[in-house]
């Protein structure tokens, strides 16, 4: 993730890979929380996920986040 905070070689591909890994980590966290609370996905109405900022350039007027709500919904079986 830190390597995506500044420009570099093949950063679009690296960002896409990081996004998938990020979603899988978040999904694992959701699964762990559900297990710890003896809950199932059907008991959760929705997950709010704003993504993870990988580059913030306020002077240039942009901020870039990674996060794939469709993948997270698929992995968790919960609306995102």
pLDDT of residue 54: 87
Q: Which of 19, 17, 23 is nearest to 47 (CA)?
A: 23
DSSP string, 4-42: GGS--TTHHHHHHHHHHHHHHHHHHHHHHHHHHTT--GG
Residues of the chain falling short of pLDDT 70:
1-6, 8
CATH code of the domain covering residue 59: 3.30.420.40
pLDDT of residue 28: 98
Domain with 33 in it: 2-76
Rounded (10°) CA dihedral 21, 23, 25, 27:
-150
What is the count of structural domains for the chain? 1
pLDDT of residue 2: 57
pLDDT of residue 39: 98
pLDDT of residue 6: 62
Q: pLDDT of 23-45, one tens digit each?
A: 999 999 999 999 999 999 999 99
């Amino acid at each position: 993730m830190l390597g995506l905070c500044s420009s570099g070689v093949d950063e679009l591909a690296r960002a896409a890979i990081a996004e998938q890994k990020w979603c899988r980590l978040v999904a694992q966290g959701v699964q762990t929380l559900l297990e710890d609370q003896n809950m199932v996905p059907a008991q959760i109405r929705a997950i709010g996920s704003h993504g993870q900022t990988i580059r913030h350039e306020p002077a240039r007027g942009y901020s870039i986040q990674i996060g794939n709500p469709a993948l997270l919904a698929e992995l968790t079986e919960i609306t995102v």
